[in-house]
């Protein structure tokens, strides 16, 4: 099955700085890579995702890049704000995405943005 490694486990930045979180995956057939944000006491919320037919996707201050050859993908947050503080999870499907697949999650990165 899929093995997803995520790092760093914690990341502290000053407000306005950029933050980068990286994940690697093991199954070269994986083709869907979501990122979730989880705030304390809440369920994970999808913030951005990327499919294997593109190398980068942006949505305002958030971007995700994918390197299929190296089997890694990264989350980039620019101009960080205190409300970005949360735990971020990367994920990948254990089987090629058919629209019904489950997800294997990384262990999470706790992002702390200091004012």
Partner 1 sequence: GAGVSQTPSNKVTEKGKYVELRCDPISGHTALYWYRQSLGQGPEFLIYFQGTGAADDSGLPNDRFFAVRPEGSVSTLKIQRTERGDSAVYLCASSSGLAGGSEQFFGPGTRLTVL
Contacts with partner 1 by CB under 8 A lie at: 4, 6, 32, 34, 36, 41-46, 49, 89, 91, 93-94, 97-108
Question: Cα–Cα distance between 6 and 32 in angstroms, integer?
Answer: 16
Question: Shortest Cβ distance from residue 44 to partner 1 (Å)?
Answer: 5
Burial class (CB in 10 A: 0-12, 13-18, 19+), 49: middle
What are the φ and ψ backbone dihedral angles of 78, each rounded to 5 degrees?
-100, 160
Beta carbons of 105 and 4 less than 8 angstroms apart: yes
Which residue, 44 or 85, has its beta carbon nearer to partner 1? 44
In whole angstroms, the minimum distance from the beta carbon of 45 to partner 1 comes to 7
Nearer to partner 1, 41 or 115 (CB): 41
Contact status, residue 19 vs residue 77, Cβ threshold 8 Å: yes
Q: Provide, rounded to whole angstroms, the least separation between the CB of residue 29 and partner 1.
A: 15
Q: Return the number of the residue (99 or 115) whose C-beta is nearest partner 1.
A: 99
Chain position carrying tokens 């990122």: 35
Nearer to partner 1, 18 or 54 (CB): 54
Least CB distance from residue 4 to partner 1, whole Å?
Answer: 8
């Amino acid at each position: 099955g899929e093995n997803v490694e995520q790092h760093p486990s914690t990341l502290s930045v000053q407000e306005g700085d950029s933050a980068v979180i990286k994940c690697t995956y093991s199954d070269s057939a994986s083709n869907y890579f979501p990122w979730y944000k989880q705030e304390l006491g809440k369920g994970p919320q999808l913030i951005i995702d990327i499919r294997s037919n593109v190398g980068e996707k942006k949505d305002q201050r958030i971007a995700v890049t994918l390197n299929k050859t190296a089997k890694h993908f990264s989350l980039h947050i620019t101009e960080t704000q205190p409300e970005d503080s949360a735990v971020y999870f990367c994920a990948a499907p254990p089987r090629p995405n058919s629209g019904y697949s489950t997800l294997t999650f990384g262990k999470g990165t706790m992002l702390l943005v200091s004012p």
